[in-house]
Structure 1
Amino acid sequence: MHESREHLQTLTEIRSLMERSSKFLSLSGLSGVSAGVIALIGAFLVSMRLQTSFLTRLTDSGHSTGATQLNYHDQRQFLVSVAAGVLVAALLAGTYFTLRKARRQGQSVWNQSSQRLLWAMAVPLATGGIFCLALLFYNLIWLAFPATLIFYGLALYNGSKYTFRDVESLAYCEIILGLLSVFWPGYNLLTWSLGFGVLHIVYGLAMYYKYERTTA
């Protein structure tokens, strides 16, 4: 019996070592929380600038019911600027928390597993980014919101095999929410806020309490 327990413990340790060598496990739950907060701030700035609520459709003409009368070019430029700002801020915050977690674990951030993760996510994200710019170019602003959710979900799903499997659940939620918002165009900003804001915060907190709090 004692030998069986030792063998089981040895196999568990081997499995853990293999998982650490093949998967990027320095991803911090606080990165998700920070990304969610930043996304909600961005959505709030959009609602204030366009003077619209989260329950108002941003239409192809570049206006929304009750929105300030900005022409489509100005509205598009503002939305792209906010999206770029949210992306950069979220990446910086995510990098900080990930580096901090890696240092605490005594691990390197830039290794084969992290490179595989980045490459797996880069292809869907780059494709989705170009596709969304095309939608904005053709004045299909209402479709750009669900498209960002769908392609982001696909990127998470593609990268989930190189990190925590919990990421796969977040990927499904983002994709489903994006598909629903295609048929629910009256709530563009709301669905975007739920996907990039609320879901990130919930996921990040769940990951933090599951993997990090006990070792903090």
Structure 2
Amino acid sequence: MTTYQEHLASLQEIRSLMQRSSRFTALSGLSGIVVGLLALVGVRLIQWFLNQRHTSYQDIYQKPLTQETGTFLATVILAVLVLALSSVLVLTWLKAQKARQSIWHHQGQRWFTTLCLPLAVGGVFCLVLLYHHLLFLLAPSMLIFYGLALIHSSKYTFSDIRYLGLGEIALGLLACFQIEYGLLAWAAGFGGLNILYGILLHYKYERNTSSL
């Protein structure tokens, strides 16, 4: 029995090493939870700001934005983005350090590149929407490009991430038709789905390392 367990442990270690060499496994499930919570805090701040001015999300795309409202929305979105990226990098680095891995090896670079390219294109597209005052398409576009980035990068990390991407795209497309629910879809996608994925990733890959 002892010999069997030793062989099993050796096979699991070999499998883990092979998968580490073929995909980026330092991505932390906790980072998904933190990103989701930050997104929900950002949505709550936006709702608070709009309520203070006795307005609603629908007014954002039905009426011209005031400079104060535009500045606040841009500040909140930028702050959430910076904090989210920072948390992902820090938590991923900590997980990699614990596993004695480098986050900037070959697969890590490929994952980062394939993730950032659709995000960069989506960012430029959102600027185009702002330029043409098509504000009602901002939230759906963010969800769609984020989903595309996740799917595009999933082949270099945990394959489960593509399902998160599909969920983000589905929410974005629905919000394109029901634009009055854009902020709700944004909260569900960047908040709820990220938290759910982070929890699943943590329990599937981080609590039980033998599943790697």
What is the TM-score normalised by the length of structure 2? 0.87
Q: 1:48-93 deviations in whole A, cap 9, x for unaligned?
A: 111289x842543446xxxxxx61x332222221111001101111
Give the distance between the partners of 2:208 and 2:7, measured in 1 at CA: 26
| Alignment equivalent of 1:156, drawn from 132, 138, 150 | 150
Q: Report the CA distance shift for 1:101/1:58 in structure 2 as closer, same or farther (over 3 A).
A: farther
Q: 1:179 aligns with which of 173, 189, 197?
A: 173
**1:62 and 1:88, CA in 2 relative to 1: closer, same or farther beyond 3 A?**
farther
Match of residue 57 from structure 1 = 58
Contact 1:153/1:174, CA 8 A, preserved across alignment: yes
Distance 1:7 1:205, change over 3 A: closer
**What's the offset of the Cα at 1:9?**
8.3
SS state at 1:34 partner: helix
2:109 alignment counterpart:
115
In 1: Cα distance, 2:75 partner to 2:63 partner? 15
Q: 2:153 is aligned with what amino acid?
A: G
Tell me if the contact between 2:140 and 2:172 (Cα under 8 Å) persists in the aligned partners. yes
Are residues 1:97 and 2:91 paired?
A: yes
% of aligned pairs identical? Answer: 47
Q: Which residue of 2 aligns with 1:45?
A: 45
Choose from 71, 74, 78 the match for 1:80. Answer: 74
Does structure 1 conserve the Cα–Cα contact (< 8 Å) formed by 2:111 and 2:153? yes
Residue 155 of structure 1 and its aligned partner are, at CA, apart by 0.3
Once residues 60 and 76 of structure 2 are traced to their aligned partners in structure 1, the CA distance between those partners, rounded to angstroms, is 18
State whether residues 62 and 139 of structure 1, in contact with CA within 8 Å, keep that contact through their aligned partners in structure 2: no
Q: Once the two structures are superposed, what CA deviation does each residue of 1:144-188 show, in whole Å capped at 9, x if it has no partner? A: 000000000000000000000010110000001100110011111
Q: 1:88 to 1:190 in 2, by over 3 A?
A: same
RMSD over equivalenced CA pairs, Å: 2.5
TM-score normalised according to structure 1 size = 0.85
- 1:128 paired residue number: 122
Higher helix residue share = 2
Instruction: Return the offset for 1:7.
Output: 9.7
